[in-house]
Amino acid sequence: MQHRIVVLGAGYAGAIVAGRLAKRLRREDVAITLVNAEPDFVERVRMHQLATGQRLRPRPFDEMFAGTGVEVRIAKVTGVDADRRTVAVSGADGDGELAYDTLVYALGSGWNPQGVPGTAEHAYEIAGRPGALRLRERLARLGAGQTVVVVGGGLTGVEAATEIAEARPDLRVALAARDGLGDWLSPKGREHLRKVFGRLGITVHEHFTVGSVEADRVVAADGTAVPAAVTVWATGFAVHPIAQATTLEVSETGQIVVDGTLRSVSHPDVYAVGDAAMAMGPGNKPLRMSCASGTPSAWQAADAIAARLTGGKLPHVSIRYFNQCVSLGRKDGLIQFVTADDRAVPAALTGRLAAFYKELVCKSAAWGVANPTLGVPARRRPVTAKRAAAGSALREPA
Ligand SMILES: Cc1cc2nc3c(=O)[nH]c(=O)nc-3n(C[C@H](O)[C@H](O)[C@H](O)COP(=O)(O)OP(=O)(O)OC[C@H]3O[C@@H](n4cnc5c(N)ncnc54)[C@H](O)[C@@H]3O)c2cc1C
């Protein structure tokens, strides 16, 4: 009987897990199903580009996974029953249920309005495709001289503000940051950021904590208001509530708590990868929601699942940070080199070379997803019945 592996979510992390497992395990031993709500891969790292009218290359899953042995199912996941080991899905052919022996949860994240009044009604977001398309349509209708305020001084806010300012020099673009601009960067990185913001004419409101968003302005907690024809909310990401509604152990953020092999600490037949996982990285700090950590977490989970099913040695993939790659429009960028636990070191690359480097990183991340089995060394040891049952046996009450 085949061991049923169901992977939920075909973003950077889920697609990589599915492809890698297909290379690591024998087709006769496993049935791998990859469930995703949309029929093509969404390059989330380019959502600010989509919002400013750029065309992104379509990447349909049926082409990407053709011939790999992975069955792609286009459906929305509506629930997980981690005790019955089933997933509820809803697709073009109606509602259904998928049973699994091993589950990989990779549903990623969306925007995080943080309960700030007015955000849900008035703000735009770029955490996913629908939000980016909505903003794209709104920006296209904005007349010269109107103001766009990007809220959030982190990586996504900085990328969004510079992209909009470069694409639409006729608009007034502002950034509202809770701290100082680029506070977390090295002096060189910070200086470059200020230079680019100056060149693009972006106004920066530092130490500005937004307390509410209204139709035509954002208001700070102390009552200071900044006019905004459009407010773009980019203050970090929040995970989908599905995991929280299960018996899986989740963190306060709703992420599934996993061990060093990305395996759920409460349910050994469940793994979580990417933004959906609460995994500890170097320095015992939670991994940041990013492709930078999501991709190695996917390699680690796939290799651990394959090792456990076939009796191989448990792998150890090093999950550490090397740099933060920030686009500053299409012609400029910043590569901030960091320690293993993501703290800035003095070295940074700036300017056109950095823009080129960042583009290369985005392209290779998408290439890895679009060619999920290419370049993955095949190690196809047979799945043993004893090993396959081990996960569920561990779940039996003592
Ligand atoms: C504008 C922007 C710029 C970014 N830049 C960078 C960067 O430069 N570097 C970096 O490392 N990170 C960056 N990130 C963060 C990065 O995109 C995410 O951390 C990464 O996409 C997480 O990967 P994932 O596979 O966990 O989730 P996702 O990429 O979000 O994939 C989740 C998948 O699950 C699917 N899904 C969700 N819910 C359901 C459901 N209920 N049913 C079925 N399918 C579902 C989605 O359709 C999607 O395909 C950026 C993000 C944004 C928005």
Query: According to the model, what pLDDT value does residue 394 have?
Result: 42
Q: 352: left (phi > 0), else alpha (psi -120 to 50), else beta? A: alpha
Atom 19 (ligand 1) nearest CA: 290
Arithmetic mean of pLDDT, 67-85: 96
Instruction: Report yes or no: 122 and 132 within 8 Å, Cβ to Cβ.
Output: no
Mean pLDDT to the nearest integer, 19-26? 94
Give the span between the Cα atoms of 203 and 196, in whole angstroms: 11
Q: What three-state secondary structure class fits 144?
A: coil
pLDDT tens digits, one per residue of 313-333: 898 877 999 999 999 999 999
Higher-pLDDT residue of 392 and 194 is: 194
pLDDT score for 181:
97
% pLDDT > 90, the chain: 88
- 312 CA to centre of ligand 1 in angstroms: 31
Model pLDDT, residue 375 = 72
| Nearest-angstrom CA–CA distance, 162 and 183 | 17
**Residues 6 or more apart in contact with residue 209 via CB below 8 angstroms:** 178, 220, 221
Residue 7 pLDDT > 90: yes
Beta bridge partners of 124: 232
Query: Which residue puts its alpha carbon closest to atom 37 of ligand 1?
Result: 107
Average pLDDT, the chain: 94
pLDDT band at 387 (very low <50, low <70, confident <90, very high): low
pLDDT tens digit string along 132-162?
A: 999 999 999 999 999 999 999 999 999 999 9
* Rounded average pLDDT over 233-251: 96
- Residue 312's pLDDT is what? 87
Q: What percent of the chain has pLDDT over 70?
A: 96
Residue closest via CA to ligand 1's atom 4 equals 45
For residue 393, the model assigns a pLDDT of 39
Ligand 1 center–CA 37 separation, angstroms: 13
Distance separating alpha carbons of residues 194 and 179, to the nearest angstrom = 14
Distance 325 CA to ligand 1 centre (A): 16
The CA–CA distances, whole Å, from 39 to 106, 120, 131, 173, 256 equal 16, 27, 17, 34, 25
The whole-number pLDDT of residue 398 equals 28
pLDDT in the model for residue 391: 53
Residue ranges of alpha helices (H) inside the chain are 12-24, 47-51, 61-64, 119-122, 129-141, 155-167, 187-200, 291-310, 351-370, 385-395
357-369: per-residue pLDDT in tens? 999 999 999 998 8
Kindly report, residue by residue over 156-197, the tens digit of the pLDDT: 999 999 999 999 999 999 999 999 999 999 999 999 999 999
Mean pLDDT of 27-38: 96
Alpha-carbon distance of 380 to 23, in angstroms, equals 7
Question: Could you give the CA distance from residue 266 to residue 311 in angstroms, rounded to a whole number?
Answer: 22
Q: Residues enclosing ligand 1, CB less than 6 A?
A: 9-14, 35-38, 42, 44-45, 47-48, 76-77, 106-109, 126-127, 156, 159, 240, 274-276, 289-292, 294, 325
Q: What is the pLDDT of residues 369-378, one digit of tens each?
A: 888 777 776 7
Look at ligand 1, atom 51, and give the residue with the nearest C-alpha: 45
Nearest to 252 by CA among 278, 291, 280, 273: 278
Residue 390 has pLDDT above 70, yes or no: no
Q: Taking residues 215-241, what's their average pLDDT?
A: 96
**Predicted pLDDT at 396:** 34
